[in-house]
Structure 1
Amino acid sequence: MYSFLLVGAGGAIGAMARHGFGSIVGRLWSMSFPLATLLVNVLGSLAMGVFIGLMARFLPAWQNEARLFVAVGVLGGFTTFSSFSLDTIALIERGNLLMAGAYVLLSVVVCLVGLYLGLLVTRGVA
């Protein structure tokens, strides 16, 4: 039960942060390209790389609780790929196939690079 509370509390924080960030980006960017979701996924992937890298490097006694709260809860609530999928399908349904393809490619590649850079930073390579 304790693990569900950790994930739930973290998820609420992540979801609220995602909503706030999306609202701000939405006010600043009025194009149909889903920039807020892209930026959230990139930032979340970078944060996940840093967090997991730190957990692996320092192995704290509270690692499992931190992983549940931060990785599964906060970052899981912040970086939902369900929004990515919805935005992609919406672009396709509006006939924006090139934009949808660019969005998918950018999302996947840049998020993977972000996570990798986060891991590199924690390993002292970058």
Structure 2
Amino acid sequence: MALLAVAVGGAIGSVLRYLLGLLANQPGWPWGTWLANVSGSFLIGLLYVWGREKGWLSPEQYLLLTTGVMGGFTTFSTFTLESVSYFSQGMFVRGGLYVLSSVGGGLAAACCGWWLARQFT
């Protein structure tokens, strides 16, 4: 059952990520990837508290939503490739800003999700 939950969630997350990329990516800045990583970080912060700390999600629901949906939705491998691409083109400021804003934004979003989830207890 756990494998099925991860597989279904991964399919959902991947499709959502693809659609977000179609809607948000712009020349000069990969907004779709950035939005997926930051919003996914926020959501996984919520899900961790609700699923692990509060026990509001079954183990299968937790796997479906975190490992599955969030795993398919967030795009760390795409993020790293885009970062390397900036650096290899000599776009060091743009690459550095992208890395710092993605990692910093993701960390801040996860903390906000974690905090927000704790307020609804």
What TM-score results when the alignment is normalised by the length of structure 2?
0.92
Q: Which residue of 1 aligns with 2:18?
A: 19
CA distance in 2: counterparts of 1:80 and 1:66, whole angstroms: 21
Q: 1:50 aligns with which of 32, 46, 49?
A: 46
What percent of counterpart residues are identical? 33
Distance in 1, Cα, partners of 2:33 & 2:49 = 24
- Structure 2: how far apart are the matches of 1:6 and 1:40? 21
CA shift at 1:39, angstroms? Answer: 0.9
The alpha-carbon deviation at position 92 of structure 1 amounts to: 1.1
Provide runs of 4+ in structure 1 moved above 4 Å.
Answer: none
* CA-CA distance at 1:58 after TM superposition: 2.9
SS at match of 1:32: coil
Q: Distance in 1 between matches of 2:51 and 2:36?
A: 22
**TM-score, normalised by the number of residues in structure 1:** 0.89
Q: Which of 87, 91, 95 is the matching residue for 2:86?
A: 91
The aligned residue for residue 34 of structure 1 is 30
Asked if the contact 1:18/1:77 (under 8 Å) is kept, the reply is yes
Structure 1: 5+ residue stretches without partners: none
- The separation in 1 between residues aligned to 2:93 and 2:102, in whole angstroms, is 14
- Is residue 64 from structure 1 mapped to residue 63 from structure 2 by the alignment? no
Question: How many pairs align?
Answer: 120
RMSD, aligned α-carbons? 1.5
Unaligned runs of 5+ in 2: none
Matched to 1:19, the amino acid is Y
